[in-house]
Amino acid sequence: MKHILAILALVAFTQQAQAQTRIPDAAFVKAMTPPAEFDRPYKGITIITRTKDQAETRKLCPIPFPQPLAIGCARTIPVGCELIISPDSVIALAGLTLEFVKRHETAHCNGWPADHRGAREPAR
């Protein structure tokens, strides 16, 4: 009986985790993909700060987030640019990867405006 309860609990946990996983819609991904002119490595020093949760991300990134998830931000600092990025679990809920978020935030370091003008379809 204990084994059956454990299996049922595992199935329920797995179903809940799958329900929480969100694949972004095309408009969201397009709004996240930087235009070619800003989609390049940053020439200065880049510091990456990983937060422990969304609350810390929202505290360190005092900007309104158009999506329910606070994924990250970029800000200039005296020695270069700092990328503030939420934990991998939050990035996964958005259906994104850490590399994609770094690319997006690096584009802001390169001058891409916060309104995401010029966002383009991601490369397939």
Least Cα distance to 70 among 96, 50, 90 occurs for 90
Q: What pLDDT digit, counting tens, does each position of 70-89 carry? A: 899 999 999 999 999 999 99
Facing residues of 83 across strands? 48, 74
Full-model pTM = 0.75
Tokens of residue 102, six digits:
């770094």
pLDDT tens figures, 9-42:
333 333 344 445 555 665 666 678 999 999 999 9
Distance, in Å, from the CA atom of 61 to the CA atom of 70, rounded to the nearest integer, reads: 9
The answer to whether residues 105 and 83 touch, using CB atoms and an 8 Å cutoff, is yes
